Amino acid sequence: MRLNFAGWFVICLCGFATCQAAAADVKLIGRGRLAGTATDQSGQSEALVNGTPHHRFGGISALEYAGDKNRFFALADRGPDDGATGYQCRFHELNIDFDESGARPADISIVSTTLLSDASGRPFTGNATAYAPADKLAGRFDPEGIRLTKNNTLLISDEYGPHVMEFSLSGKELRRFPLPEYFSALHPGDSKAAENKLNHSGRSSNRGLEGLALTPDGQFAYGIFQGPLLQDAARTKKGKPFGRNCRIVKLDTHTGETWEYVYQLDDVDHGLNEILALNDHQFLVIERDGETGDEAKFKRIMQIDLTAATAIDGSKALPKNGLPSNITPAAKTVFIDLLDPQFGLAGSSMPKKIEGLSHGPRLADGRQTLVIASDNDFQADVPTLFWVFAY
């Protein structure tokens, strides 16, 4: 395995086991937060059906650098209570102001909020029962990944579909990219348990196209599934899907052509939350467990390399655990272990969900910044956390 990345010294014993890498040059230089009661700039102060203010900031599923020194796009997911409230989908523009020396906390402010709509101007909703477009709604949408294109448009991945869609900066849908049919769950349901019971293939409910990357030249988007497709998973006695083989889909944004690769989880209880391009074959990926606070055992940013990975295009089903000898998964190394004591993040305040991952501006000394954000599920007593690293 070849890694062309400054500051890395890699000793790998690959196969299924994760390769280990030393990243001594990665430093935590900023920590910030927004209160769980923070409000966005939408002006929608009415209450949702569960009583949550419609303009509550939270549920951050993705971050993307806007190209200005401190500006970032932050994508909200489908809203409170797992799609039960009729939340209108949106993204925000944030100002994340941090001190390069790490001498003060990062200051986070919400600059603007943009609501998402289809080409006809109908709003997208997180409502899990809005299976199809209607007169006043574009249908259900669960935004999970966001990337800025060279044309100043936004690519957004939808976990419900799954879809990859392009939007204007004003939030209007411009186009959709076709994805393999066997990614889709053909029988929608209003809950995870119901939807998984109805389907035997396609994305697992609420574990669909969770992350999105865009290569530096802008030609290829890479989507990553949070967990295995249903046809790639085993099931517990209660019907919950589980497995290690997650799919990465490569999409040519010019032609629409797709390719697929395998990412193997360290544990069947883990999930993937984001993917970020370093170049055209190396990426950073969030892999984490589902534990919170002191119970958290695995919260890592992995570096993957697809150079030697096998393209599995058209493979409608994979094994539940291992892989045959003719399929090589993405090579993995540990880029940042967020529970490493050197960062001081482990402990009671460690969030369950680490979902936002974006590069930021380069520092005066040439180091690259990396900004990470948590998802608080719109809970009033849980802040959204932001961490700024430099490498």
- Convert the pLDDT of each residue in 273-287 to its tens digit: 999 999 999 999 999
Q: Does position 6 have pLDDT exceeding 50, yes or no?
A: no
Cis bond leading into 162, ω under 30°? yes
Residue (of 94, 59, 55, 50) closest to 77 by Cα position = 59
- Identify the burial level of 136 via C-beta atoms within 10 angstroms of its C-beta, where 0-12 means exposed, 13-18 middle and 19 or more buried: exposed
Six-digit token pair at 238? 């209660």
**Residue 16, pLDDT above cutoff 50:** no
282-313: pLDDT as tens digits? 999 999 999 999 999 999 999 999 999 999 99
Q: 185: pLDDT confidence band, cut at 50, 70 and 90?
A: very high
pLDDT band at 135 (very low <50, low <70, confident <90, very high): very high
Query: Average of pLDDT values for 103-115?
Result: 96
Whether 12 has a pLDDT exceeding 80, the answer reads: no
Q: Averaged over 95-106, what is the pLDDT? A: 91
The percent of residues above 70 in pLDDT, for the chain, comes to 94
pLDDT, mean of residues 315-341: 95
pLDDT at residue 23, rounded to an integer: 55
Q: Is 8 a residue whose pLDDT tops 80?
A: no
Considering the entire predicted model, what is its pTM? 0.93
Tell me the mean pLDDT in the region 70-87: 96
240: tokens are: 């919950």
CA distances from 298 to 135, 145, 236, 304, 375 (A): 45, 22, 22, 17, 16
Of 302, 289, 258, the closest CA to residue 352 belongs to 289
